[in-house]
């Protein structure tokens, strides 16, 4: 009995001691944590969230997370936890999740508009965070407040989160975002940016967690690898162009094409900027200037300012871009223009000119890249060998040579660059010719050509003249060349034109023709006696008149007989018609030009209709596009007075000639525009038909 009592007493004593120890331990936890109930609740919340994530295929909790939680529960200790929630388009504010679980959405195209983050079981440590918001940029760091916006339909584009306090000595805060068009980006940590800027892309989801200092976040509840090796994507260099018929385009970046290709549209201006120094790791400016049609080089612009013009219809022809400050020490800027007739030019860099100068060619598109010093330059494969094309480059390196085969003489010596080949004043026909290009650019430029030959017509024999031996015409047949046609081909044809003119029997030198136009005559059995050929930049045009480079001869014998007597030129024809004796007679526009002209040529007298008709026929015989016009002018006594005059169509418009005005009032009326002072007011007029 005594032994039993003693044993019972010992058991009671031991139980009391155990309970006392448990009480002391529990009290110690309360004192140390200040809130053991709250810590337990935090773990439960974490477990519940993990459980919720497990029910969602896109938010599964890994076994290691569960094991960590079990170990904590077994040891009776609390671990720090990161809790966060997202405000999402069309959904609103979602429930909180924890420690790497997914906040936001995937696959729905919804923008994440705001988020909030907090710590639990973190002692004196806190999180601060910031969002880069559409149209607003980076906002200031805050704690325990909403980062982003609600009710404004603005997307979050990037985030930054920092860990402060004692916990930062043991842990890194890591986070990644799911971005429109890219998917999951890589993990960022400790204040590094995650997401994108300057790309107008929405963040759609995020994950945030704590990891031991320096560890890589491998336990991923979403169980999806990052789609990109970088956590943060930004444009190192951005630019936009203002384009003909389109206007201002959206920003492009890092080698993307700004402008258009294949649409023959001019770039009229451009703006360029580089990324913030925070991203590039250095500071400095980007400077640029545009070469503009009719203006030349403008002043330098920088950092997003607009260079060029708008609303003036002026093409941008070239650009120069350079860096300054420490930015220029760490980076090179490369740029390439897509140019009318030539396509993409070679890459220029650091202030060199890209485009054309003095050639009247438009820039149609541009690419720009920022490259770190020492890294490879962009490839020139498929691009022109030059980064800039200039008028001097073509004029100094291209020329044309030609020789003619002349009646009774044979082959003449080679002539060059506009000199005369053949004869004038000797009545000798050219029977054949050949043309060659001297090309020091070594880019395969050549001229093709063919002729209209007596009794044969058009000899369609386009030949490659690079070796200068191709022959157009005849030999030993006594046949005259009556008209010629030439065309520049190959590399130089984008910047240069071939101009040519011929000296023709009875007419002398005709106007300059170019690039496939006919030069000479037809229907007149007239010989070409000499020829001149020259290459000129497109911006320069012809070196003389282009009028009447080709004449379909009017064989009206009376008109040609008068011209052969007075001289075959337009002024002489006008003076002859204006000098007819005035004769008042019946008039009718329906009688036609030829009817009235016959009166003038046979009787040497007539009214305004006769004067206009004879001048029209002689102008046509000289190869002009002349038309007799009938209409009205104000009568001296009031009312309308019927009248006739002449219009001649030329490349620069329609010109008026009124021989009767000179005849009656002795006023100059040769070659003027309607509305000129000291001429009549012409109205209710139309052209007559030739009869």
Instruction: Please report the pLDDT score of residue 585 as a whole number.
Output: 75
> Taking residues 540-546, what's their average pLDDT?
93
Determine contact, residues 241/270, Cβ cutoff 8 Å: yes
Where residue 240 falls (left for φ over 0; alpha for ψ -120 to 50; beta otherwise) is: beta
Instruction: Please report the pLDDT score of residue 690 as a whole number.
Output: 55
> pLDDT by residue (tens digit) across 131-174?
999 999 999 999 989 999 999 999 999 999 999 999 999 999 99
Residue 6 has pLDDT above 80, yes or no: no
179-183, 418-422, 572-576, 637-641: range with lowest mean pLDDT: 637-641
Residue 34 has pLDDT above 60, yes or no: no
65-69, 101-105, 212-216: range with lowest mean pLDDT: 65-69
**Domains in the chain, please, with CATH?**
78-234 (no CATH), 237-386 (no CATH), 397-552 (no CATH), 557-687 (3.10.620.30)
> pLDDT by residue (tens digit) across 118-127?
999 999 999 9
- Chain-wide mean pLDDT for the chain? 87
Instruction: Please report the pLDDT score of residue 67 as a whole number.
Output: 39
Residue 236 has pLDDT above 60, yes or no: yes
- Structure-block tokens of residue 48: 């519940």
> Taking residues 607-626, what's their average pLDDT?
93
Instruction: Please report the pLDDT score of residue 221 as a whole number.
Output: 80
Determine contact, residues 175/208, Cβ cutoff 8 Å: yes
Higher confidence at residue 690 or residue 178?
A: 178
Residue 388 pLDDT grade (very low, low, confident, very high; cuts 50, 70, 90): very high
100-114, 128-142, 219-233: range with lowest mean pLDDT: 219-233
pTM of the model: 0.70
- Structure-block tokens of residue 242: 């203002």
Instruction: Please report the pLDDT score of residue 586 as a whole number.
Output: 66
Residue 648 has pLDDT above 80, yes or no: yes
- Structure-block tokens of residue 397: 């390196």
Higher confidence at residue 124 or residue 74?
A: 124
Instruction: Please report the pLDDT score of residue 587 as a whole number.
Output: 63
Instruction: Please report the pLDDT score of residue 24 as a whole number.
Output: 34
Closest CA to 613 of 633, 624, 627: 627
CB atoms within 10 A of CB 211: 17
32-36, 580-584, 635-639: range with lowest mean pLDDT: 32-36
51-65, 418-432, 473-487: range with lowest mean pLDDT: 51-65
Kindly state the percentage of the chain with pLDDT values over 90: 74
Q: Most confidently modeled of 57-61, 506-510, 583-587?
A: 506-510
> Taking residues 375-382, what's their average pLDDT?
95
- Structure-block tokens of residue 298: 């403008």
Question: Rounded to whole angstroms, what are the CA distances from 2 to 12, 93, 294, 403?
Answer: 15, 72, 124, 147
Determine contact, residues 537/394, Cβ cutoff 8 Å: yes
Higher confidence at residue 441 or residue 306?
A: 306
Residue 10 has pLDDT above 50, yes or no: no
Residue 22 has pLDDT above 70, yes or no: no
Residue 483 pLDDT grade (very low, low, confident, very high; cuts 50, 70, 90): very high
Q: DSSP E strands: which ranges in 468-558?
A: 472-473, 481-489, 496-504, 508-509, 513-514, 518-522, 528-537, 550-552
CB atoms within 10 A of CB 240: 20
> pLDDT by residue (tens digit) across 239-281?
999 999 999 999 999 999 999 999 999 999 999 999 989 889 8
> Taking residues 334-344, what's their average pLDDT?
97
Residue 534 has pLDDT above 80, yes or no: yes
């Amino acid at each position: 009995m005594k032994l039993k009592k003693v044993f019972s007493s010992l058991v009671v004593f031991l139980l009391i001691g155990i309970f006392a120890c448990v009480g002391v331990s529990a009290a110690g936890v309360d004192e140390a944590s200040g809130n053991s109930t709250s810590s337990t609740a935090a773990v439960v919340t974490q477990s519940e969230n993990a459980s919720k994530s497990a029910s969602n295929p896109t938010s599964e909790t890994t076994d290691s997370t569960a094991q960590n939680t079990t170990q904590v529960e077994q040891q009776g200790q609390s671990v720090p936890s990161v809790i966060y929630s997202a405000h999402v388009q069309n959904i609103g504010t979602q429930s909180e999740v924890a420690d790497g679980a997914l906040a936001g959405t995937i696959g729905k195209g919804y923008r994440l508009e705001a988020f909030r983050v907090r710590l639990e079981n973190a002692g004196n440590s806190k999180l601060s965070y910031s969002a880069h918001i559409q149209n607003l940029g980076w906002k200031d760091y805050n704690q325990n407040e909403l980062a982003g916006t609600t009710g404004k339909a603005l997307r979050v584009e990037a985030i930054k989160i920092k860990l402060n306090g004692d916990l930062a000595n043991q842990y890194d805060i890591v986070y990644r975002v799911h971005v429109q068009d890219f998917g999951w980006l890589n993990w960022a940590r400790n204040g590094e940016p995650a997401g994108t800027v300057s790309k107008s892309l929405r963040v759609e989801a995020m994950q945030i967690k704590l990891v031991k200092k320096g560890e890589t976040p491998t336990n991923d509840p979403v169980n999806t690898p990052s789609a990109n090796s970088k956590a943060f994507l930004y444009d190192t260099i951005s630019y936009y162009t203002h384009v003909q018929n389109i206007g201002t385009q959206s920003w492009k970046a890092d080698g993307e094409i700004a402008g258009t290709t294949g649409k023959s549209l001019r770039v009229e201006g451009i703006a360029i900027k580089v990324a913030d120094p925070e991203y590039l790791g250095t500071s400095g400016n980007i400077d640029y200037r545009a070469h503009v049609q009719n203006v030349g080089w403008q002043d330098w612009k920088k950092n997003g300012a607009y260079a060029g013009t708008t609303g003036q219809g002026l093409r941008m022809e070239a650009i120069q871009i350079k860096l300054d400050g420490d930015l220029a020490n760490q980076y090179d800027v490369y740029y390439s223009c897509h140019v009318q007739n030539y396509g993409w030019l070679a890459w220029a860099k650091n202030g060199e000119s890209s485009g054309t100068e003095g050639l009247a060619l438009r820039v149609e598109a541009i690419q720009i890249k920022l490259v770190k010093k020492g890294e490879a330059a962009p490839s020139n494969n498929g691009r022109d060998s030059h980064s800039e094309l200039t008028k001097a480059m073509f004029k100094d390196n291209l020329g044309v040579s030609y020789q003619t085969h002349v009646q009774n003489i044979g082959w003449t010596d080679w002539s060059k660059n506009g000199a005369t080949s053949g004869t004038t004043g000797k009545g000798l026909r050219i029977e054949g010719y050949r043309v060659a290009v001297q090309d020091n650019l070594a880019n395969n430029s050549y001229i093709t050509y063919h002729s209209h030959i007596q009794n044969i017509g058009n000899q369609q024999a386009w030949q490659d003249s690079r070796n200068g031996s191709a022959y157009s015409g005849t030999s030993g047949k006594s046949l005259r060349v009556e008209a010629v046609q030439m065309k520049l081909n190959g590399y130089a044809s984008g910047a240069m034109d071939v101009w040519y003119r011929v000296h023709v029997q009875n007419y002398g030198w005709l106007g300059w023709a170019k690039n496939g136009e006919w030069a000479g005559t037809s229907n007149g059995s007239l010989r070409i006696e000499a020829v001149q050929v020259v290459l000129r930049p497109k911006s320069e045009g012809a070196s003389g008149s282009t009028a009447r480079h080709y004449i379909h001869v009017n064989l009206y014998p009376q008109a040609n007989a008068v011209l052969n007597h007075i001289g075959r030129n337009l002024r002489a024809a006008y003076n002859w018609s204006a000098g007819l004796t005035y004769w008042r007679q019946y008039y009718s526009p329906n009688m036609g030009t030829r009817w009235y002209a016959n009166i003038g040529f046979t009787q040497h007298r007539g009214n305004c209709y006769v004067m206009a008709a004879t001048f029209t026929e002689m102008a046509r015989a000289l190869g002009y596009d002349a038309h007799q016009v009938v209409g009205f002018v104000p009568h001296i006594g009031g009312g309308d007075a019927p009248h006739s005059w002449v219009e001649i169509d030329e490349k620069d418009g329609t010109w008026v000639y009124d021989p009767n005005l000179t005849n009656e009032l002795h006023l100059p009326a040769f070659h003027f525009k309607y509305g000129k002072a000291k001429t009549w007011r012409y109205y209710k007029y139309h052209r007559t038909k030739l009869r």
